[in-house]
Every structure is written in C-alpha cells, then in structure tokens.
C-alpha cells in the first residue's frame, strides 16, 4: 500500500468522556493532518483494561462525529492488539534486551534516585532475579544502556534525555500481564505507519523512551509536536481525575472556536453563528501551527 506522506492520529484513552483538553489535541492533530493533505486515524488506547470506563469509546467517537471530525479507515482498539505487543516482546527477548523484575514499588523507592518521573529504576533485577524474589509476580523491563536520545519537537524544541539515568530500565509488561502504554504506543504507531505525532506536552518526557524502543525494534521515528495543556484554575491538567466537564454535544461551534483560540489561531466571531462545514473550511484555510503558544493555560470556556 502506498502511504500518504503525512499520517497522523488521535489516540484517546477511554477512561472518560471527551473534554476540552482532549478536544484541543483532537483538533490540532486533525488540522495538522488535513492541512498536509494527510490521513487522520483514530486509535482507542484501551490497553489498560483496569482504567477503561464502559461506553467511553463509543461516546468519544460520537463526540468527534458531532464536532464534524471525520477519520480515515477503521478505528483501531489496542485491546485487540495483544498478539502484536507479545511479538515485540519476543523480538526484544531474542536480543537479550528485556528481563523479569520482581521488585515492589517500595523496594524501588527505597533504593532509587528521584528524577523527572519519579524513582529511576536502580537495576536490581537486571542480572537475574535473586532466589528470594523468584516466586513473586514479575514485570518485564527493557534494558536502557546506551540510551542518550535527542530529538527536535516541532513546538517545544530540542529534547535531550539519557533514558538510563533519567528514567531507568522501564516496564513493558506489568506484573498483572497488562502491556504498558510505552510498548503499545510504539508498536502501534509503527504498525499504522504514523509519520507525525501531535499530542499533549505531558508526554514530552515519554518520547525519548518511545524513540529508544523504536530503535531497538528497528522502527522509523515519526515527527513530534507536543501541544500545551489546558489547565483548570488550580493549574491541573483537565482530566477525568480533575473532574473535567465533558464537551457539550449540543453546541459544538463555541467550543471549537474556543479551542482554535487556545491554539493561538484567530477565528472570526461569526464562525459561532455558522455551521460546522464552514467552521472547518475556515479552520483549514487559516491554520498556522507556528502560532500555537508553548505554555499550558486556561481555556476561555464558551
Ligand atoms: N492515550 C493517551 C492519552 O489519552 C495519548 C497517547 C499518545 O498520544 O501517544 O493521553
């Protein structure tokens, strides 16, 4: 199959309904794809079945449709992709790159140095499980030797991270058998031929881990653009945990216009009075990714 030059995606976790924060990511990824004559795919990231909220995938897809955002191809569900994640683990295992770890959180916290995302795994099980840990449930971790990763994010600029010293050997399969986000996202972005990733800046520090895995698995690295986050009055990212309100499906236009403003664009006030088709025509004709500001901010709720 001939791949289009630009293939992007929106990859929501179905842990709750779409809110204005996730709408920002959907709109920016959609406009970036469409203004590059690219494809825009949807992947439902339901790999962590313990966090899935029933019916939330259907509601997210329905909300995207109500907001006039049409995706290409079939929706992919990570819950149906376990065999591919297992195959990637087998590939890494063949090359001696993963190992079982039976440390508890407490044991790691007691022995670890703290870094950007919490304790850096101190490597206790890297050379084999000690006999007193042998019967415990175990995670699978990837070795992070030689893991200095540098990339240029289209909005946030240069990022340089040594995964080994700043994150440590990270988990690819949890002790309860669930494949982690870091593994699933890398396998799926490669399998789906993604060329451009547009998502929230909260994932900026995950990107070196993903590029590291791409290198180990022989995958290409896509381009990245990490967006500012919508925060509430307490400065917290809008999310299910911070009780963000779902988008209001009865009045898409004011929310779409507010989303464009958040993204640094200058939509005309009249767009609120028009229809969805005219909104998207205007948005595509006038979209300028260079105008997106870097900083996390409130959104002026319509
Ligand atoms: N599923 C993640 C989320 O909803 C996004 C992952 C990604 O875009 O890589 O926050």
* C-alpha of residue 17 to centroid of ligand 1, in Å: 14
Task: State the closest ligand 1 atom to the C-alpha of 9, by its place in the atom list counted from 1.
Answer: 8
At residue 1 the predicted structure's pLDDT band, cuts being 50, 70 and 90, is very low
Name the residue of 12, 224, 241, 244 whose CB sits within 8 Å of the most ligand 1 atoms, as the mutation to test its pocket: 12
Distance (Å, whole) CA 100 – CA 129: 7
- Is the pLDDT at 131 greater than 90, yes or no? no
Write the pLDDT tens digit of every residue in 167-186. 999 999 999 999 999 999 99
Task: State the closest ligand 1 atom to the C-alpha of 12, by its place in the atom list counted from 1.
Answer: 4
Average pLDDT, the chain: 94
- For strands 148-153 and 114-115, give the pairing: unpaired
135 to 29, 93, 131, 138, 262: CA distances (angstroms) = 45, 20, 8, 9, 52
H-helix segments, 67-120: 82-94, 105-111
Write the pLDDT tens digit of every residue in 146-164. 889 999 999 999 999 999 9
Q: Is 67 labelled as part of a ligand binding site?
A: no
pLDDT value of residue 240: 78
Compute the average pLDDT of residues 267-274. 95
Q: Is 151 labelled as part of a ligand binding site?
A: no
Nearest Cα neighbor of 119 from 136, 137, 101, 135 is: 101
Compute the average pLDDT of residues 118-130. 88
Q: Is 181 labelled as part of a ligand binding site?
A: yes
* C-alpha of residue 129 to centroid of ligand 1, in Å: 32
H-helix segments, 119-244: 163-166, 181-191, 207-217
* C-alpha of residue 25 to centroid of ligand 1, in Å: 9
Nearest Cα neighbor of 40 from 198, 246, 190, 188 is: 198
Architecture of domain 82-182: 3-Layer(aba) Sandwich (3.40)
* C-alpha of residue 10 to centroid of ligand 1, in Å: 8
Nearest Cα neighbor of 252 from 108, 21, 64, 97 is: 64
> Pocket around ligand 1: residues whose beta carbon is below 6 Å from it?
11-13, 45, 185, 199, 203
Distance (Å, whole) CA 196 – CA 65: 22
Distance (Å, whole) CA 80 – CA 47: 9
Tokens of 204: 């900026």
Task: State the closest ligand 1 atom to the C-alpha of 189, by its place in the atom list counted from 1.
Answer: 9
Is 260 in contact with 27 (CB distance < 8 Å)? Answer: yes
Distance (Å, whole) CA 31 – CA 284: 6
- Is the pLDDT at 132 greater than 80, yes or no? no
Compute the average pLDDT of residues 36-40. 97
Q: Is 121 labelled as part of a ligand binding site?
A: yes
pLDDT value of residue 200: 97
pLDDT-above-70 percentage for the chain: 99
Nearest Cα neighbor of 180 from 89, 47, 81 is: 47
- For strands 148-153 and 196-200, give the pairing: unpaired
* C-alpha of residue 43 to centroid of ligand 1, in Å: 9
pLDDT value of residue 4: 56
Q: Is 9 labelled as part of a ligand binding site?
A: yes
Compute the average pLDDT of residues 210-230. 98
For the segment(s) 7-79+185-205+216-294, the CATH number from 3.40.50.620, 3.40.225.10, 3.40.50.2300, 1.10.3720.10 is 3.40.50.620
Distance (Å, whole) CA 272 – CA 251: 9
Task: Tell me how far apart the terminal alpha carbons of the chain are, to the nearest angstrom.
Answer: 43
Question: CATH 3.40.50.620 residue ranges in the chain?
Answer: 7-79+185-205+216-294, 82-182
Q: Note the pTM of the prediction, 2 decimals.
A: 0.95
Map residue 172 onto helix, strand or coil: strand
pLDDT value of residue 60: 97
Neighbours of 110 (CB within 10 A): 11
232 to 16, 26, 282: CA distances (angstroms) = 17, 19, 28
Distance (Å, whole) CA 216 – CA 156: 25
Name the residue of 185, 186, 190, 191 whose CB sits within 8 Å of the most ligand 1 atoms, as the mutation to test its pocket: 185
Write the pLDDT tens digit of every residue in 44-80. 999 999 999 999 999 999 999 999 999 999 999 999 9
């Amino acid at each position: 199959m001939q791949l289009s030059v630009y293939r992007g995606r929106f990859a929501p976790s179905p842990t709750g309904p779409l809110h204005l924060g996730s709408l920002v990511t959907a709109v920016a990824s959609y406009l970036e794809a469409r203004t590059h004559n690219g494809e825009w795919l949807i992947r439902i990231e339901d790999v962590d079945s313990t966090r899935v909220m029933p019916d939330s995938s259907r509601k997210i897809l329905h909300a995207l449709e109500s907001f006039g955002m049409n995706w290409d191809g079939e929706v992919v569900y990570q819950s149906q992709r376990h065999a591919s994640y297992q195959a990637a683990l087998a590939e890494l295992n063949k090359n001696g790159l993963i190992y079982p770890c039976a440390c508890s959180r407490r044991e790691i916290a007691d022995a670890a140095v703290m870094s950007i995302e919490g304790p850096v795994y101190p490597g206790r099980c890297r050379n084999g499980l000690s006999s007193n840990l042998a019967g415990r449930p175990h995670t699978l971790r990837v070795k992070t030797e030689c893991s200095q990763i540098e990339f240029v994010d289209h909005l946030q600029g240069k990022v340089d991270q040594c995964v080994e010293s700043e994150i440590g050997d990270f988990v690819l399969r949890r002790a309860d058998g669930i494949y982690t986000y870091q593994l699933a996202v890398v396998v799926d972005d490669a399998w789906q031929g993604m060329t451009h990733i547009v998502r929230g800046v909260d994932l900026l520090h995950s990107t070196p881990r993903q590029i590291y895995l791409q290198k180990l698995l022989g995958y290409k690295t896509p381009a990245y653009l990490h967006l500012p986050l919508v925060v509430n009055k307490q400065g917290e990212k809008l999310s299910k945990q911070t009780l963000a309100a779902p988008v209001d499906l009865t009045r898409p236009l004011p929310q779409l216009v507010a989303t464009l403003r958040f993204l640094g664009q200058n939509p005309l006030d009249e767009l609120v009075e028009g229809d969805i088709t005219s909104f998207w025509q205007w948005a595509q004709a006038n979209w300028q990714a260079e105008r997106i500001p870097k900083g996390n901010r409130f959104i002026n709720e319509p």
